[in-house]
Amino acid sequence: MGKPLVAFLTGAGISTDSGIPDYRGPSGLWTRNPEHEKLVTYSYYMADAQIRRQSWQMRRDLWTAGVVPNAAHRAIAELESSGVAAVRVLTQNIDGLHQDAGLPSRKVLELHGTSRFVTCVSCGSRGPVAEVFARLDAGETDPACLPCGGILKTATVMFGEALDASVLSEAAAIAKACIVMFAVGTSLQVYPAAGLVDLAVDAGARLVIVNASPTPYDEMAAEVVREPIGTALPRLLRELAVA
């Protein structure tokens, strides 16, 4: 018999202890400034050079903040390395902190892409985001694609863009196969990512929600934890490991 599959659906809340603000929480970026959402909305980004300049500066500021994985990221990686369970992470985050914590990249599905690479919307060329930040440091404010002059964006799924169908299909298969799904630091208001919870529960998985605020799925959960994620998730996974 194979190892039990434990899936984690993670959102912005798991990275707040690393210094990355969430979006919809009490002190979230969009709670404090609803206009901030335009910086990650495709239609605004494509139509307005000023929005692009602000978006690049926001990402540049995060890049230089020196964020590192926190206790919650490390707890998931430690569960995977312990061999107790097969672990898969389905993350809405674009920060790469699950991989930095030691989780193999092949076990992390980045539903909304990654901020560590950029892509051209015209020719599709792709490269490290660090190269664009170097151009920002050199004085460019809205760096264009060097091969074709097109608009560059991070390799993330902005609002108004569709998720990668192959990534979503793989995530759905994991949701249907897991015996436990932890929904961690996510409002469960963004679809189709939130719909993975339905797939897991419908297939018989136990749902555990660890989030500061109520979610639309709380009544469906076997357990809802409102404690700080950095302390709650390591405790829950220690209990899982000895169960």
Active-site annotation, residues: 112
Round to whole Å and give the CA distance between 174 and 202. 13
Beta strands in 55-134 (DSSP E): 86-91, 108-110, 113-120, 126-128
Position 243: which residue type? A
Classify burial at 181, counting beta carbons within 10 Å of its beta carbon; exposed 0-12, middle 13-18, buried 19 or more: buried
| Residue 24 burial (CB count, 10 A) | 16
Q: What is the largest CA-CA distance in the chain?
A: 58
Round to whole Å and give the CA distance between 151 and 91. 26
CA 236 to chain CA centroid, Å, is 21
Residues in the chain: 243
Round to whole Å and give the CA distance between 214 and 196. 18
Pairing state of beta strands 113-120 and 152-156? antiparallel
Contact 210, 223 (CB under 8 A): no
CA distance readout (Å), 238 to 81, 128, 161: 13, 36, 38
